[in-house]
Structure 1
Amino acid sequence: MTSTQLHHDFEFGLDGHGEVLRIAARGSEVLANAVINRGTAFSAQERKTLGLRGLLPSGVTTMEDQLKRVYVQYRAQRSPLDKYLFLNTLHDRNEVLYYRLLSEHIEEMLPIVYTPTIGQAIREYSHWYHRPRGVYLSIDDPEGIEDALLSMGHGPDEVDLIVATDSEGILGIGDQGVGGVAITIGKLAVYTAAAGIHPHRVLPVVLDTGTDNLDLLNDEVYLGVRHARVRGERYDAFIDRYVTTAHRLFPHAMLHWEDFGASNATRILNKYRDDYCTFNDDIQGTAAVVAAAVMSAVQVSGTPLADQRIVIHGAGTAGIGIARLLVQMMCQDGVDPETARSRVWGLGSRGLLREGIAVRDFQQPFARSAAELAGWTLDLPGHYELADVVRNVHPTILIGCSAQPGAFTEQIVRDMAQSCQRPIIMPLSNPTDRAEASPADLISWTSGRALVATGSPFPPVRYNGVSYRIAQANNALVFPGIGLGVTAARATRISDSMITAAVRTVARSVDPRPAGASLLPEISGLLPLSAQVGLAVALAAQKEGLATAPLDNPVQAIYDAIWRPDYPRVKAI
C-alpha cells in the first residue's frame, strides 16, 4: 500500500518498518475518529503527544485485552440484530479492533455481519440508521455521481474495490430501497476479514433508483428517494454513468455488483465485463462455490464432470450462472460447447426450459428442443416439471436454486438414487426454511449415499454410525480471494479462466473422500484459503495478459496485498 491521504488530520503510509499512522489531530478528535482511535491501547507516551491525558482511564491495555472485553460484550447481546448493531457500534468507535474481532471469530460472526442477520438489518435500516457509512447515489441526481464518489477523499490510485447494489434483489427479501447499502458494507467487511482487502481502499455504494416496496414508500422515516423504481433507458443511463465515472476516477478498482434484480443482473454483467474489471457475486461467486462443491463431489463419485447429467431447479440468474460455469469447465477439459450444454437441464417458473415457452435471453442456450422431448413420460401432458425431468433424464447432479421448500421430495430423490450410486444433491436456497430438502432427509432417503451441499448452514447429520458434515456453499469461500487476486495483479478484467482457477483451488483445499467428509473447506479457515485463491486468480490474470502489476514473485505479491488488523505505529505530526 502506498501512502494514502484520507483526512487532513491523519495519514496512513509505509516506511521501512511497516505501516505507520501519522496523526495531526489532538485530544477528543482522536478518540472520536474510528479510523485512528485505539482507545485504552494508546501508550502513555502516545497519550502525552496526542493530548489524550485525562481523556482515558489510566490503565493501558493490549489489543488482546480489548478483544477479550469486546467479545464478552458481544456474547452478552440477546438477539442476532442486537449483535449486528453492537458490531456496527464497535466499527464506528475503533475500526482496527472491529476487524480483528471479526477476523478471529469469522465463522461465528459471518452470519451476523452478512446473511442471514443482515436481511433483518436492511429491512429496518431507516429506523436504526445513526451514522452514514457508504456512498449514496440518487437516480434523481446523476450529475452528482462524481462529487459523491470523490466525497471520501480518495485519489485515483487509492481505491481497489467498489461494491454497489441497486437493492432490487436483496438476499431472499427482494426490493429494499436505500437500505441495501448495508449489504455492500457487509460484503466489504467480509472482503477485509476474509482476505485482507484494505478497509480504507474500498467504497460501498447504493444506487438509489427508487423502490417498488410500498411499505417503504409509505414509511414516514424511509430515507431513500420516494418514488417507484425507475426502469428502462433512464435506469441504463444511470448505471452507465456510474460505471464510466467510477472507472475514470478509480481506474484500478474492481466493480462488484451485488443483489441486482433478475431482469438486470446478467444483462449488466454481460454489458460491461469485457471492457471493465467487473464481477457479480450472485452470478459468478455463487456459481464458483457451487462448482467447487461439484468438483469435490465428482472426485468422490468417480464419474468425470463431462459424464454427469445435471438438473438445475431454479434456472434464474444464479442457476444459469452455475450452468454456464460448469459448461466452461467441461470445455476446459476438452468437451465441445454444444455437448457440454447438452449435459445440463434447467427448470424455471414454467418448468423445463424448452422450445415453445417464454424464456429470458440468458436462459435460451439451455432450452431443450421439442424433438428431444418427444417420447418423454409425463405426469401431465404438456407439463415438464421436476419429477418428470428426473424420471426421464436420470440425473447424477441435482441443484436447487428455486426457493421452493421441499421441492426435492422423497419420491424425486429416490428416483434419482435408483440410477446413480453417489447422487450429488445441493439444495441451495436460503434461508434454511426455503431449502429444497433437508440434509438429514437426503442422507436417509439415499441410505447415506448422497453427496450434499447446502446454501444455508446445517449441523452434521448422524446416520448409521457416520457423522456427515454438511458443506455450506457460502460465497465467502470464493469472492474474497478473487478480490485479493484482482487487487494484487491489478487485473484489467475478470475472465472465465480466473473464475475457474478459483473454483479448482477451493475444490483442492479439502479432502472429500473420507466417509461423511464435507465437500467444501470450513469457514474458519477463510484467510489462508483466500490467499490461495488470490494466488491462483492473480496467476491466471498474468497468464492471460490481464495483470498490470508486476508479479515476479507472486506469493510475495499476495502476502504484501493482505492488510492485517494490527494497530500501526503512531507518529504525532
Structure 2
Amino acid sequence: SMSSSCPVLSSRACPCSGMAFTLLERQILGLQGLLPPKIETQDIQAMRFQRNLKKMTDPLEKYIYLMGIQERNEKLFYRVLMEDIEDLMPIVYTPTVGLACTQYGHIFRRPKGLFISILDRGHIRTILDNWPENNVAAVVVTDGERILGLGDLGVFGMGIPVGKLCLYTACAGIRPERCLPVVIDVGTDNETLLKDPFYMGLYQKRDRSQLYDDLIDEFMEAVVDKYGQDTLIQFEDFGNHNAFRLMRKYREKYCTFNDDIQGTAAVALAGLLAAQRAIGKPITEHKVLFCGAGEAALGIANLITMSMVEKGLTQTEARKKIWMFDKYGLLVKVRTHNQEVFAHEGPGNVQSFLEAVNVIQPTAIVAGRLFTHDVLKKMGTLNKRPIVFALSNPTNKAECTAEEAYTLTDGRCLFASGSPFDPVTLADGRVFTPGQGNNAYIFPGVALAVILSGVRHISDTVFLEAAKTLADQLTDEELAEGRLYPPLSNIREVSLQMAVKVVQFVYANNMAFRYPEPKDKDKFVRSTVWNINYDSFLPDIYEWKGMNPPPDH
C-alpha cells in the first residue's frame, strides 16, 4: 500500500531504506526525484540518527523520535538500538516505556500492534486476519491492568508489548515481522483515563465477568488456529489475580508463559546464583525474605525452591527458607490460593518489615517498597555480604537506590535493581556497578529457543535452565566490579548463548517438536538471526542463456 509519507510502505512496517536506495531501485520503484540525488550508506544514516538522539535530553522526546525511526526504517532502528543498547534500552523499555504508556494517547502518531476489545467477541479470528503478516511466531499480549508499577493504564499499555518485541529482535535477532503485539481492551478502572479526551480505549469500567474469560479463551484459540499450535504467547502486565489463574489454565494447553512471574523469577534467581558465587555460600544455605507477595515474589520463590531442590533439599525444606511480608504483615497464614506454600508457622504480630528482618534474619531481601535505611543497615549487621534486590519498575518506583544500598552497607551488599542505576562511587573511592535484574536477559533468548525447537508447553525447568545459563555467563572480573549480570552491552551474545543452551535442554528432555534435531545447535541458532543490512528491492532480473536467438521455425 502506498503512503504520502513514504513511497514504499508495507502496511505493517516500512521496508524503506530511504536515501540508501540504489539508482536502479529508484528508477524501477518510481522513486527517482522523490528522494534527494545522494545515495547514502546505512553508516551515514545511523550517524545522523545517533547525533540527533544525543542532542535530546528529554527521555520521552527520545522515545518518540526512536519510534518514528522504527516506523520509517526498521533496519536502521535496530542497528542503532543494538549499537547503543545500554543507553537506549532504558528508552525503549523500562523506565521510559512506562512514562510513554501514561502519555500514550497524547504522544500518539499512528497505531502499532493489534487492538482487540471486548466488543469484538466472536470475531477475533477475523481481526487476526486483518494483521498483514501470516507467519507470526510470537505474540506478546497485555490487558493493561498492571503496567509495570504504574497500575491500570488500559489500552495505553500497548507500549509494553511493542517495547518487549523490540527486544525480541534487538537482543535475540528474532525477525520483527514474526512478532505480534496485542492489547486486549476490557475497559479500565483508572478514573483519570476515563475522563481523558485522548484516551484511546473503551470508556467503561473493567469487565470482570465471565465475558472476560470467554474473550481470552477465544483469543488463544484464534492465535493457534491462525499461526499454529506452537505459536509462543507471552503474557505481560496482567493483574495479579488473572496472571496466576491464566498461567495455570493455559500452560499445559498452549505454548505460553507469563513474563512477570516466570521471566522475573529467572532473572532474580540468576542474580542469586551469581551472588552465591561471590559469597561462596550455596543457595541451599540462604534465607530469603520478600517484601510483597505478588506475581514477582511468588514466581521468584517458586524458582528458588526448584533450584534448592535440584541441589538436594526436599521441597518442604526449601520452602521453609523463603518468607514473605506484605501489607498485612508476615505471611503466617494463607491469604490467597497462590501464597499457601510460603505461609509458615511463625511469629505473629510482626508489624514492620524491619521487625521481620530482625526475626527472620535473612541473607537476602527481595523487592518491596519498604527498604528503609534501617532495613539496609540491619541487613549489613546481620550479614557479611547482604543480598539486596530492589526489582520494582520503573526507576521512580524502585525500593531504594543503588547508592543507598552500597553506602548503608559499606559497599558490602550484592545489589540488583529492576531499573537502571549509574555506577556508585563511595567516599573511599571504591566504584560499584549495580546489576540490572532486567527480564530482557531472559525472555528474548528463551523465546528464540522455544520458537526454533517447536516447544508446545514451556515448563518452569526451562526458566531454571535459563537462570543457570545467565549466571554462568557472568565473568569473575564482572563479579568483582559488583555486577551480578553481564553488561547489557553484551546482551545479544548473552541471548544467543542462552538460546543455544535452552535448545540443547529442550531436545535432551523431549520437549522439542521440530525434527530432525539439528546436530550443531550453536550454528543452528546463529544461522537464524535477522540481518539488519538492507535487502535489494529489485525484481529478479536475469537473461536467457543458450536459446538466444531462438531457433528458426
Bucket of the pairwise TM-score, normalised by the shorter protein: over 0.9
Please point out which of 152, 163, 166 is paired with 1:189: 166
- Aligned residue identity for 2:32: R
Paired residue for 1:99, among 47, 60, 78?
A: 78
Give the corresponding residue for 1:429: 392
State the alpha-carbon separation in 1 of the partners of residues 485 and 193 from structure 2.
39
How far apart in 1 are the matches of 2:167 and 2:510?
28
* 1:420, distance to aligned residue in structure 2 (A): 2.1
1:168 equivalent in structure 2:
145
How far residue 517 of structure 1 moved from its aligned partner, in angstroms, is 2.9
In the alignment, the residues of structure 1 paired with residue 351 and residue 312 of structure 2 have an alpha-carbon distance, to the nearest angstrom, of 31
Amino acid across the alignment from 2:491: L
How far residue 307 of structure 1 moved from its aligned partner, in angstroms, is: 0.9
2:491: which partner in 1?
526
| Amino acid paired to 2:277 | Q
SS of the aligned residue for 1:65 comes to helix
Amino acid at match of 1:408: F
Aligned partner of 2:354 in structure 1 is 387
Are 1:275 and 2:240 matched, yes or no? no
Partner AA of 1:510 in structure 2:
L
**Offset of residue 412 of structure 1:** 2.6
1:493 and 2:472 aligned: no
CA distance in structure 2 between the aligned counterparts of 1:515 and 1:57, rounded to whole angstroms: 52
Q: Could you tell me which residue of structure 1 aligns to residue 342 of structure 2? A: 366
Per the alignment, residue 52 of structure 1 pairs with 31
Indicate conservation of the 8 Å contact 2:149/2:397, yes or no. Answer: no
Identity %: 37
Q: Name the counterpart of 1:42.
A: 21
Provide the residue aligned with 2:46 in structure 1.
Answer: 67
- TM-score normalised by structure 1 residue count: 0.89
The residue number in structure 2 matching 1:339 is: 317
Distance 1:459 1:130, change over 3 A: closer
Task: Show the counterpart of 2:435.
Answer: 471
Aligned residues: 534
Structure 1: which amino acid aligns with 2:18? G
Q: Which residue of 2 aligns with 1:504?
A: 468
- Which residue identity does 1:83 align to in structure 2? K
Instruction: Please give the alpha-carbon distance, in whole angstroms, between the structure 1 residues aligned to 2:150 and 2:397.
Output: 12
| TM superposition shift of 1:436 | 2.5
**Number of the residue aligned with 1:90:** 69
Distance in 2 (CA, whole Å) between partners of 1:79 and 1:27 is 26
Q: 225, 228, 232: which one pairs with 2:205?
A: 228
Kept in 2: contact 1:31–1:39 (CA 8 A):
no
1:140 aligned counterpart, secondary structure: helix
Q: Which of the numbers 191, 204, 215 marks the counterpart of 2:192? A: 215
Q: Residues 433, 185 of structure 1: CA spacing in aligned structure 2 closer, same or farther, 3 A cutoff?
A: closer
Q: Contact 1:195–1:531 at 8 Å: present in 2 too? A: yes
SS of aligned partner of 2:313: coil
* Residue 409 of structure 2 is aligned to residue 446 of structure 1: yes
The one-letter code of the counterpart of 1:349 is: K
> CA offset at residue 271 of structure 1?
1.2
Deviates more, 1:79-88 or 1:385-394: 385-394
Task: Give 1:411's aligned residue.
Answer: 374
Secondary structure in structure 1 of the residue aligned to 2:66: helix
Match of 1:152 in 2: 131
Q: Offset at 1:283?
A: 1.0
Q: Contact between 2:414 and 2:482, CA under 8 Å: does it hold in 1?
A: no
Q: Is the 8 A contact 2:329 2:349 kept in 1?
A: no
CA shift digits 1:88-113 (9 cap, x unpaired): 21122111111111121111111111
Distance 1:214 1:288 in 2: 35
Name the amino acid aligned to 2:523.
Q
SS of corresponding position for 1:567 = coil
SS, match of residue 8 in structure 2: helix
Amino acid at match of 1:146: R
Could you tell me which runs of 5 or more consecutive residues in structure 1 were left unpaired when the two chains were aligned: 1-6, 10-24, 374-380
Q: Quick one: distance in 2 between partners of 1:540 and 1:347?
A: 35
CA contact (8 A) 2:448 2:499 kept: yes
1:327-363 alpha-carbon deviations (Å, 9 max, x no partner):
01111222211111111001121111112xx612111
Q: 1:42 to 1:26 in 2, by over 3 A?
A: farther
Query: Residues 196 and 453 from structure 1, CA distance in 2 versus in 1: closer, same or farther, beyond 3 angstroms?
Result: same
- Cα deviation for residue 165 of structure 1 reads 0.3
2:123 aligns to what SS in structure 1? Answer: helix
Secondary structure of the residue aligned to 1:565 is: coil
* Distance in 1 (alpha carbons) for counterparts of 2:539 and 2:323: 64
Contact 1:460 1:470 in 2 (8 A): yes
2:232 to 247, 254, 263: 254
Distance verdict in 2 for CA 1:528–1:309, change over 3 Å: same
1:237 aligns with 2:237: no
C-alpha contact 1:511 1:517 (8 A) present in aligned 2: no
2:6 and 2:430 mapped to 1: Cα distance? Answer: 58
Structure 2 residue runs of 5 or longer lacking an equivalent are 541-553
Q: Equivalent residue of 1:517, what SS?
A: coil
Q: Which residue of 2 aligns with 1:545?
A: 510
**Cα displacement (A) at 1:145:** 0.7
Residue type at the aligned position of 1:425: V
Contact 1:137–1:144 (Cα < 8 Å) also in 2: no
Cα contact 2:15–2:73 (8 A) shared by 1: yes
Deviation at 1:193, TM superposition (A): 0.8
Question: Residues 412 and 85 (structure 1 numbering): CA distance in 2 closer, same or farther, change over 3 Å?
Answer: closer
User: Residue 215 and residue 413 in structure 1: after superposition, are their counterparts in 2 closer, same or farther (change >3 A)?
Assistant: closer
Aligned partners of 1:456 and 1:472 also within 8 Å? yes
In structure 2, distance between residues paired with 1:279 and 1:286? 11
How far did residue 441 of structure 1 move?
A: 2.7
Rounded Cα–Cα distance in structure 2 between residues aligned with 1:26 and 1:547:
46
Q: Is the Cα contact below 8 Å between 1:35 and 1:96 reproduced in 2?
A: no
1:350 aligns with 2:317: no
Match of 1:18 in 2: none
- Tell me how far apart the structure 1 counterparts of residues 67 and 405 of structure 2 sit (CA, whole Å): 38
Q: SS of 2:181's equivalent?
A: strand
Closer/same/farther in 2, CA of residues 447 and 126 from structure 1, 3 Å limit: closer
Contact kept, 8 Å, 2:94 with 2:419, in 1: the verdict is no
3-state SS of 1:128 partner = coil
TM-aligned CA distance change 1:431 to 1:204, over 3 Å: closer
Q: Secondary structure at the match of 1:278?
A: strand
Mapped partners of 2:351, 2:300: distance in 1: 21
Q: In angstroms, what is the RMSD of aligned CA positions?
A: 2.0
- Which residue identity lines up with residue 194 of structure 1 in the other structure? C
Partner SS state of residue 569, structure 1: coil
Residues 334-343 or 442-451, more deviating: 442-451
Q: 1:109 aligns with which of 82, 85, 88?
A: 88
Q: What is residue 551 of structure 2 aligned with on the other side?
A: none
